[in-house]
Chain A
């Protein structure tokens, strides 16, 4: 039995997870983490039919894992059950097509980026959205991101190479930086290079999380295996692999090995060398090696630590690093989840659930106001902007600006407006 399955034995039925689950709180379609996780798992055997489609309403936000006092890996039990349903053919072909379209951000990006303006125009067309909703089940209101004309890795390799013998890191950019928001990657590179660190961007694929959370385990396995083979050499040399996307790094660290039963040495080594961007900076800070930001950012901003980030169980490194920025006043949200949960909130049957889940967060962001809000995860940023109309940035964009980098338009605009 793997650690995920073994953990179901720990449940003492205390219901703490049930009271914390943001999805169970807003819909009766989802019976809740205890029910779907440790409880239903006792009724799912390898040779049994998978009868419980309600598990698909788990958003995978991992709030339950965080609060469980006995360490049940509830979200993973649910994800595996969903994987089992997909493998058993219990999910309709149409739903799988929709899920795959949403989950294959890398393929989509590769196709659409060369024609970004046209692709964006099509995707933002109301009529097109109505059709995709009724044919594919992608909610018409959901915040699809815009393709960027600039591809991050192209930009990176097109610039003069900086070399440092002192420190090197591998930057795992993820699909969103690559295809939608290269500005986040650019800010990250600016921060790293300001600290005299050589940035390496090796060929890399999607981390596989969107596929994992849609139960498409076989496809995710291919991505994970190919990432292991391209990143392992660096891990073996002790070079950290860091990422600004909190869900990509979580997947490399934990999700992929646990859901795909990759407990081999290679996956473990890669996991051990993977860091969230600010987790890494915090280590530099503790070693007295982090450059102190000097440029004041006199703003009061709302910050939401995404569920995926909390699931790293590393505290709130972004909050600590942002705390170094002169005059910046960050107010942290206490909301559980923004509701988008990767691809979840894009699905027609789940869009409203996602919006309801995120309501406390949206209210918080609106109450703080400010010209931008701050969040580490891309889909959460899109959801926050969609629900509140407030533009959202990654914390690294603030740090880069505080180092004097002026490439972050949203931050510069906010400072100028203050």
Chain B
């Protein structure tokens, strides 16, 4: 068994964990981060993609709204290249109560979210597909955000400040000695060995899994995982974030991000963050709601559905240990539970991850009795000089390089060089890791043509055994195809059929030698618990022909 000694150990490689790692490393703490899978494998990589302006919360949760707009401004400064400056609309459709408008505007004023009225004609000029019956439209500084890239860059910056980021290190349990947590025992999934990591302070940043982590040290952190499902339209139906101007509820936002438009989301309590399914009614609800914003949206090609889990924290003890004024939970388990050496940070939003990391690192300084100032709001992430991302960027690059003959993933314009870079620089170990790095397999064909090419490159660069490459291929296909099952109708069904013929009939992927799956196989969703319901759109589509 390997052992590692450090000052700060962070559990969880999502937005929060990598944010904390960067902040700790920048403040000069010796830092190690462990993540079960790849970075952003958790909720961070399965979210809606919205850089909140705060507009969504101005009525329901003004405090959260104020946090969002403050962080929105900071993130635009420190990581514009992870963001698209789409702007956002709040619109009143015939299904919404116009009485909400004054409350919304008052809320924006109060939370200092900049808002301006957009004439309907101008709204339609900018977004011609929006419902012509929309009566009011307001512009706010929403944007869309690439959380994979942001997480990766936080990790890279952490490394530059000396942190070590260990992915595929699964925490089996926290190591508790008496009333003290002294680190964590991990399983290195790649080497298949145990690693004990001892730390002066352990930060539990495992999102919806934080309760599970705490429980291994007999600490009760009660989290109710709330599942949210999202559905992607195959292209940019809109180029602006579209919100319904009403109390936040299900399926009321459309986010244009990279080449797709994402509809979302739902909020359904589940018992376990590792086991949940995407239900047909959720997909249906998303399409029905989308039709209210973009008439005909439900007839468009749907690429896939996915879901993430929010941790809903429920306080079980009454102490002053929780920063109750905030939209997230930062728990010091010494006063709260009588266990020292560990703190938990969970909840919040992607948009506020930096603020959460700052608060957490302030707590780290306090616990380690070494006050040091935060600088994460001042120093940009690597590459920020590139400015905002824009939709045409990849096409532009390809055109300049004339590298269109080098495409591995044709839908998302990923070149051989990108894949090589992801494997050798980004240390990608699976095709799914490559996907998160470069968007491979995330376009219309959902990996139909790029998967076997990427596995070929992985095989070559990593010098894998044939059987291991075969298993890597199966791992990825299984993951992709699970996200397709909830939306298998119409055009995407044709695509799935072609993909099935390629992989199962032509390449005989199921029968190739090697294990059926690897330890690194991404864990995703269960089978839906009900069937039917999502048949409706297919019937509609067929009838419309």
Chain A residues within 8 Å of B, Cβ to Cβ: 1, 8-14, 28, 31, 34-35, 38-54, 70
B220 within 8 A of A: no
**A44 adjacent to B494 (CB under 8 Å):** no
B129 within 8 A of A: yes
Chain B residues 396 to 439 lying within 8 A of chain A, measured CB to CB, are 396, 398-400, 402, 404-405, 407, 410-411, 413
* A10 CA to B444 CA, complexed, in Å: 9
**B259 adjacent to A42 (CB under 8 Å):** yes
* With A9-B301, A34-B410 as contacts: A54 and B404 at CB distance below 8 Å: yes
CB distance from B284 to the nearest CB of A (A): 20
**A43 adjacent to B391 (CB under 8 Å):** yes
**B395 adjacent to A52 (CB under 8 Å):** yes
Instruction: Jot down 24 A-B pairs with beta carbons below 8 A, ordered by A.
Output: A9-B300, A9-B301, A10-B301, A12-B444, A12-B495, A13-B445, A31-B405, A35-B407, A38-B444, A39-B413, A42-B259, A43-B395, A44-B391, A46-B239, A48-B390, A48-B392, A49-B396, A51-B392, A51-B396, A51-B400, A52-B395, A52-B399, A54-B399, A54-B402
**Nearest A residue to B394, CB-CB:** A43
**A44 adjacent to B392 (CB under 8 Å):** yes
**B396 adjacent to A12 (CB under 8 Å):** no
* With A31-B405, A43-B391, A45-B239 as contacts: A9 and B491 at CB distance below 8 Å: yes
**Nearest B residue to A28, CB-CB:** B405
* A245 CA to B494 CA, complexed, in Å: 37
* A48 CA to B445 CA, complexed, in Å: 24
Partner of A10, one of B392, B404, B410, B491: B491
**Nearest B residue to A51, CB-CB:** B396
**Nearest B residue to A42, CB-CB:** B259
Chain B residues 206 to 259 lying within 8 A of chain A, measured CB to CB, are 234-237, 239, 259
Closest 5 CB pairs of A and B: A51-B396, A31-B404, A9-B301, A43-B395, A48-B392
Partner of B234, one of A9, A40, A46, A50: A9
Chain B residues within 8 Å of A, Cβ to Cβ: 126, 128-129, 234-237, 239, 259, 300-301, 390-392, 394-396, 398-400, 402, 404-405, 407, 410-411, 413, 443-445, 448-449, 491, 494-495, 498
- Tell me which residues across on chain A come within 8 A of B411, comparing CB atoms: 13, 39, 42
**B129 adjacent to A35 (CB under 8 Å):** no
A sample of 5 more A-B contacts (CB under 8 A), given A8-B235, A13-B449, A38-B444, is A40-B395, A43-B259, A44-B391, A44-B392, A45-B391
**B399 adjacent to A48 (CB under 8 Å):** no
* With A42-B259, A43-B394 as contacts: A13 and B444 at CB distance below 8 Å: yes
CB distance from A25 to the nearest CB of B (A): 14
* A28 CA to B405 CA, complexed, in Å: 8
* A344 CA to B396 CA, complexed, in Å: 24
**Nearest B residue to A55, CB-CB:** B399
**Nearest A residue to B392, CB-CB:** A48
* A197 CA to B392 CA, complexed, in Å: 55
- Tell me which residues across on chain A come within 8 A of B407, comparing CB atoms: 35
**B444 adjacent to A11 (CB under 8 Å):** yes
* With A12-B445, A13-B445, A31-B405 as contacts: A49 and B392 at CB distance below 8 Å: yes
Chain A CB count within 10 A is highest, among B129, B392, B445, for B392
**A43 adjacent to B491 (CB under 8 Å):** no
CB distance from B287 to the nearest CB of A (A): 15
